[in-house]
Amino acid sequence: MAFKESQGKYTVVNSLGYLGKYQFGKGTLRRFKIYDTQKFLKTPELQERAFTALCKVNKWILRRDISRFVGKRINGITITESGILAAAHLAGAGNVKKFLRSYGKFQFKDSFGTSIESYMKKFSGYDVSYIKADKKATV
């Protein structure tokens, strides 16, 4: 996913201000008490910990939807846990819930035209069992 987001480069800031290897928004960084964006860009370990923490939180938020939808097909896409977590990184957990619960009728694309469906498909089938759902994950 890092390559799709930033070509795997820790110091990238895109035209919309998203930061680092995983293209974090400032609001998401604040959720993890990261306020110094320059330090964030210069600290690969911090970016990796932030990504893991976000995955844990998203897995907790989406835990019921993961149980309910993994293995089903929506709009021709087999739903997997890794696809759900990747889509949550792109669009936010709330938009992924809307997509799943509407059986694909709710559509979302980011400012660059990337859709929930494309992330669900591109990042399906990866082992994310090591990520434990955690409502209060920290960096």
Q: What is the pLDDT along the chain (139 residues), one digit of tens a residue?
A: 898 999 999 999 999 999 999 999 999 999 999 999 999 999 999 999 999 999 999 999 999 999 999 999 999 999 999 999 999 999 999 999 999 999 999 999 999 999 999 999 999 999 999 999 999 999 9
| pTM for this entry | 0.94
Query: Which residues on neighbouring strands pair with residue 19, listed in sequence order?
Result: 13, 24
Nearest alpha carbon to residue 80 among 133, 124, 132: 124
DSSP letters, 53-65, are: HHHHHHHHHTHHH
User: What is the length of the chain?
Assistant: 139
